[in-house]
Structure 1
């Protein structure tokens, strides 16, 4: 019977434009769930069979064989296998100075995190080849895996050009502006931010940016910023940090104002949320 899980790590990961850290494969159990969690590296999964859901940036994607989903560093995500037809997927963790730029060039961003390579079997073979490279642990495996990773990304470039964009061609200037703003907010959320300094930093007209951002995402830039901050705060409250420390970590100088915003967003105070999480953890441990 085919093994349920395999995993291989790059024994000598380098530094540079694009470096593969590890690769693996899993045949998941029904309703197998990962997250909510945040990674500090890039991660791509390619679904070989079965179905599941992927949640990122407030969106839920329904995925099946042939689909791939991308996880960005610092992004709160969750993915779950279907109860009746759990998925089998391969994954690759990677990093690099140009990783975000390369993905963005393919139309893959935090706000558009799902793609489909035009050659499903070719993509699956490249995922497997990268894992095999690390299993042998031969000298040069880092360079070989990097080359294979570029071949893999090229498969998504073919797909994005042939199907996802279709007759629309490249992304419009408005889409580029909004996605650049999303990336900026995702990185800068812990700093004091106003629509004025954000527009100035990005070089956009404030009124135009606000209008286009809402048209594209359904919310204003500042509401989107609050969403990012609340999602990060919810995760940090599970760590050994005080409410004051969590507030400061997500860009609030006033802990009381942070608590009011958190309660308005989630229906309970940070302290109440933490207590409920502790009770759930104790119950799960004793179940």
Structure 2
């Protein structure tokens, strides 16, 4: 597996590139159930497999795509006899969902085909192979992302769709817990127990289903989300470390610095200096 990841920048807010990579899967290789915090488009280069959302299942093959929407649980698996190879592009932005909708792609229809795939494939290969940390390449990737979305065809006539009979309540509870964290992470007095109280659920039950759904505990998700938001502040504002710590719900900057270094591998100050150089 080969992947890169780029930090959010104030230069790109409407629609911005985050990550890309590719993988040639082993038979029956799967991923999930999991929930993402950004959009993730998979383009199938060869082989086949299936993609499941909370309500539907799609059989997909070469030249087709599927998009994972933020905060939705998904699962996907390579075929046993002809496992797929795919490229993925992660992106986000305040108009990302609207742009996808303009192409007929939404949370109910998150799949389709790439127009003129045989011709477009070379361009897609070039895109995934670009070095993202060069400023010129980053600008180019932004434009290429728009171009890539323009190729999406959401027609589902060649796909097999199998609706799930009822919504899994565990997914709903996980989704509600994530939303509650996003609404309250800035509160220094915020406790994990507040989530189960809000949802009127037993603490251990919520903790169990959240971990099974996301692969993380509630506490881990809260920390990861706070660190994600701190990176945005460090990259796009002039706030000092103490101010950033307060913005994301830490009572003191020393605790924040310790957690940040454990997660990112450098202190917030070092991270801020590094991103300002780019």
Q: Same fold (TM over 0.5)?
A: yes
Q: Relative to 1, partners in 2 of residues 1:43 and 1:247: Cα closer, same or farther, differing over 3 Å? A: farther
CA distance in 1, matches of 2:4, 2:169: 34
Is residue 233 of structure 1 aligned with residue 183 of structure 2? no
What is aligned with 2:78?
81
CA distance in 2, matches of 1:60, 1:45: 15
- Give yes or no for contact 1:19–1:142 (8 Å, CA) kept in 2: no
Secondary structure of the residue that 1:15 maps to in structure 2? coil
Give 1:106 shift. 0.6
TM-score, normalised to structure 1, is 0.58
What is aligned with 2:57?
60
What is aligned with 2:2?
6
Report the structure, 1 or 2, having the larger helix content.
1
Structure 2, unaligned stretches of length 5 or more?
Answer: 158-162, 178-190, 213-278
Q: Relative to 1, partners in 2 of residues 1:110 and 1:272: Cα closer, same or farther, differing over 3 Å? A: closer
What is aligned with 1:100?
97
Give 1:65 shift. 0.8
Q: Relative to 1, partners in 2 of residues 1:231 and 1:131: Cα closer, same or farther, differing over 3 Å? A: same
TM-score, normalised to structure 2, is 0.59
Moved more, 88-97 or 14-23: 14-23
Moved more, 115-124 or 227-236: 227-236
Alignment of 1:37-48 (within 5 A): 37-48=34-45
Secondary structure of the residue that 1:29 maps to in structure 2? coil
Alignment of 1:1-287 (within 5 A): 5-10=1-6, 13=9, 14-134=11-131, 137-156=133-152, 159-160=153-154, 227=167, 230-233=170-173, 245-246=195-196, 248=198, 252=199, 254-255=200-201, 270=205
- Give yes or no for contact 2:111–2:156 (8 Å, CA) kept in 1: no
Structure number with higher relative contact order (C-alpha < 8 Å, ≥ 6 residues apart): 2
| Root mean square deviation of aligned Cα | 3.7
Secondary structure of the residue that 2:130 maps to in structure 1? helix
Secondary structure of the residue that 2:83 maps to in structure 1? coil
- Give yes or no for contact 1:30–1:86 (8 Å, CA) kept in 2: yes
Structure 1, unaligned stretches of length 5 or more?
Answer: 166-216, 260-268, 278-287
Give 1:51 shift. 1.1
Secondary structure of the residue that 2:23 maps to in structure 1? strand
Give 1:153 shift. 1.1
Which deviations, in whole Å up to 9, do the C-alpha atoms of 1:110-133 show, x marking residues without a partner?
A: 110001012113443333222222
Runs of 4 or more, structure 1, over 6 Å off, are: none
What is aligned with 1:181?
none
Which deviations, in whole Å up to 9, do the C-alpha atoms of 1:54-80 show, x marking residues without a partner?
A: 011310101111110011111111111
